[in-house]
Amino acid sequence: MIEGGADSFSQPRVVGALVLAAVSALVFIVAERRSASPMLDLTLFRSPAFTATTLIAMISFLGLIGFFFVLSLYFGMVQRLDTLEAGYRLLAVTAVCLLVGVVAGPLMRRISARLLITTGLLITTGALVSLTALDAYTPFGALAWRLALLGLGLGLVVTPMTATAVASVPHHLAGMAAAGNNAFRQVGGALGPAVLGVLLTTRTTDTLPGHLADAGVNGATAQRITAAVDAGGLGVVARMDLGAETGRALGALSAAFLDGLELCLIVAAALALLAAVVGMVLLRAPRTSVQAALEEANPLRESEPKPAPEPEQEPVLVGAGAGHGPVPAPLPPSGGPSFPVSDADVPARATHGAVLSGRVCDAVGHGMAGATLTLISPTGSQIGRVVAHSAGRYELTAPAAGSYVLIAAADGHQPQASTVVLGEQPLIHDLVLAGGSRISGTVVSAVDEGAVEGASVTVTDVRGDVLASGLTDTAGRFDFGELPASDVTLTVNAPGFRPEALPVQASGSEATALQVPLRSGAQLRGVVRAGAHRESLTDARVTLVDAAGNVVGITTTGPDGDYAFADLDAGSYSVIAAGYPPVAKKVTVDGRGLEEVPLELGHPDN
């Protein structure tokens, strides 16, 4: 985009880059559709709300980030401000946007995200249009309220936009939705300076000759200025030596730049208005359409069988929607569709409050009937509780929109707690409970496969946190249950044996059985003697150092001058004895038994 605007869009490298971008986008789409674990699940775009917020993010940030780029050039090239002065003027946008963004979150409990986003984009459009009145001498006071109005519009858009993108998809895709929304926002932000920069440069260079003529700069000087701008950009004029015509030339350049700035502001305002239209159209999708799109985007629902003729009664809610309408009516039977396709098929719901529904599944996608779901407020008060019926479906009603904590638990599975943000529309929140993995096995000697009793067995996760620990019984057995289904490390340690660590893939569907052989640790012992009569030396210090220079152990000799080191790995060591002048001896341990290393110390008097 930048090179095409600077020279020509017919240049081979520009055309090649644009074609490469288009082909890369197509390859990305094909790869994501075929991937079993895509970075961006394209079924997310079946949700009108997610599609709307993604388009709004890309379109609006294309115009706004490009606007900030050209506005910074206005401060530097037209108003001749330094970097710090330009920076604190832009704080009028960012500071207001930050403050309004903090308030926008709580406002979503009373005002729909569609209204907030559309209103914010319309305010942004008005602010950008008002900025077209800028000239070279506009004071900061007249500029500040326009920039503050722009910050107000942005603040009303950013927070609801991200929240809507996350809330419009199944819970297990919420992280992907937030990241996708942010990625498209950055794509728009990257294209903004390129696109508006091209418009600014093109418009400025087109109108510059006319402004030079109006300023009285003609002939060779005007041609020289125009050629310099075409070759080196707008900033080159300030570095040119034009003599008495310098002031008039810079004035003409400022006027031409303001023409380009006005065009950029109009384009940015049009993009913000387009984003507002997108929000008004797509964010008002009917409830049944939105839910059907979400159901199609949820792979956990694809394997559900067809509906049975007779409905199964929904378990009674405890405290759900108390005082806010009747208890929700029975949901469809096992395997039935999650959402009706017509108003006549919609089961009766609570007439007040926010509705939360979904499905509880195990790791392979089977519905978990009997799972208990509890909804609590941020202060810890129980709002409602329900037991999932067949196919794992549940429904809870909160007294009002807001943020809540949903706790799901089932026998033999890891409980799960998650934060849910409820709004005016019903929220679908599916959960996957990992089964309690079991790891069992025996610890034996690697020599004779005899059971090792009292061995310490520890299970740690990838972060090194201890998940379980215990000692083997008389038969060398150990057994750990209720472990998360993930990669763990099993560590075994026993006196007289070398420690052993094994990577284990804990499966949530079946127990993992292991046999852990332990190698016996090598032993090194000897006697320290000294003097002409080679008498045993008591309290001599003996140090064992491995081949890397690490001190493995330190001991002192007993009454008979003996010392010993146990539980050693095979390898080379240095044995150092001190008491008299020190003596060092190198020894190799093969790990198969006992090594004898006698040491003799000599006293200078002997």
Averaged over 313-336, what is the pLDDT?
A: 38
Give the confidence band of 298 by pLDDT, cuts at 50, 70, 90.
very low
Distance between CA atoms of residues 231 and 205, nearest Å: 11
Can you give the pLDDT at residue 474?
Answer: 87
Q: Which residues have a Cβ under 8 Å from the Cβ of 305 and sit 6 or more positions away?
A: 334, 335
Question: Tens digit of pLDDT for each residue in 358-407?
Answer: 988 876 677 888 889 999 887 778 888 888 887 788 989 888 888 888 98
Averaged over 587-596, what is the pLDDT?
A: 67
Can you give the pLDDT at residue 482?
Answer: 65
DSSP for 295-360, please give it.
HHH-GGGTT--PPPSSPPPPPPPSSTTTTSSPPPPPPP-TT--SS-SSGGGPPP--SSSEEEEEEE
More confident of the two residues 181 and 509: 181
Number of residues that this document lists for the chain = 606
Give the confidence band of 435 by pLDDT, cuts at 50, 70, 90.
low
Can you give the pLDDT at residue 120?
Answer: 92
Can you give the pLDDT at residue 364?
Answer: 66
Percent of the chain with pLDDT over 70: 80
565 neighbors 523 (Cβ within 8 angstroms): yes
Distance between CA atoms of residues 147 and 153, nearest Å: 10
Structure token pair of residue 561: 């001058």
Can you give the pLDDT at residue 269?
Answer: 92
More confident of the two residues 579 and 303: 579
Sheet holding 500-505, edge to edge: 466-471, 456-460, 487-493, 500-505
Averaged over 66-84, what is the pLDDT?
A: 86
Structure token pair of residue 190: 């990257």
Of 106, 197, 26, residue with least CA distance to 421: 106
Can you give the pLDDT at residue 436?
Answer: 63
Question: Tens digit of pLDDT for each residue in 445-483?
Answer: 887 888 888 899 998 887 777 878 889 998 899 988 767
Averaged over 495-524, what is the pLDDT?
A: 78
Averaged over 337-363, what is the pLDDT?
A: 56
Distance between CA atoms of residues 355 and 199, nearest Å: 48
Alpha-carbon separation of residue 356 from 302, 329, 351, 386, 553 (angstroms): 21, 14, 13, 11, 62
Can you give the pLDDT at residue 314?
Answer: 38
218 three-state secondary structure? coil
432 has a pLDDT exceeding 90: no
519 neighbors 446 (Cβ within 8 angstroms): yes
Structure token pair of residue 424: 């005016």
Of 377, 460, 360, residue with least CA distance to 411: 360
572 neighbors 595 (Cβ within 8 angstroms): no
More confident of the two residues 293 and 568: 568
More confident of the two residues 526 and 595: 526
More confident of the two residues 509 and 435: 435
CB hemisphere CA count around 457 (13 angstroms): 28
Can you give the pLDDT at residue 582?
Answer: 77
More confident of the two residues 236 and 414: 414
Can you give the pLDDT at residue 57?
Answer: 86
Question: Tens digit of pLDDT for each residue in 102-125?
Answer: 888 888 878 888 899 999 999 999
Can you give the pLDDT at residue 22?
Answer: 94
Give the confidence band of 284 by pLDDT, cuts at 50, 70, 90.
low
What mean pLDDT is reported for the chain? 78
Can you give the pLDDT at residue 147?
Answer: 92
Q: Where are the alpha helices (H) located in 432-493, listed in sequence order?
A: none
Q: Which residue has the tokens 């294309």?
A: 62
606 has a pLDDT exceeding 60: no
420 has a pLDDT exceeding 60: yes
506 three-state secondary structure? coil
Of 3, 146, 137, 136, residue with least CA distance to 67: 146
Can you give the pLDDT at residue 487?
Answer: 79
Give the confidence band of 595 by pLDDT, cuts at 50, 70, 90.
low
Structure token pair of residue 566: 């146990």
The count of other CB atoms within 10 Å of the CB of residue 275 is 32
Averaged over 23-42, what is the pLDDT?
A: 90
586 has a pLDDT exceeding 60: yes
Query: Could you give all domains of the chain from N- to C-terminal order, each with its CATH number?
Result: 40-285 (1.20.1250.20), 306-432 (2.60.40.10), 437-518 (2.60.40.10), 522-601 (2.60.40.10)
16 neighbors 7 (Cβ within 8 angstroms): no
Can you give the pLDDT at residue 317?
Answer: 35
Of 353, 516, 385, 507, residue with least CA distance to 434: 507
3-state secondary structure 85-116: HHHHHHHHHHHHHHHHHHHHHHHCCCCCHHHH
Beta bridge partners of 530: 535, 601
Question: Tens digit of pLDDT for each residue in 94-103?
Answer: 899 899 988 8
Can you give the pLDDT at residue 108?
Answer: 81
Averaged over 138-159, what is the pLDDT?
A: 90
270 neighbors 262 (Cβ within 8 angstroms): no
528 neighbors 561 (Cβ within 8 angstroms): yes
Can you give the pLDDT at residue 270?
Answer: 92
Percent of the chain with pLDDT over 90: 11
3-state secondary structure 509-564: CCCEEEEEEECECEEEEEEEEECCCCEECCCCEEEEEECCCCEEEEEECCCCCEEE
Question: Tens digit of pLDDT for each residue in 225-275?
Answer: 777 776 666 666 666 666 666 777 778 888 888 888 899 999 999 999 998
Distance between CA atoms of residues 80 and 92, nearest Å: 19
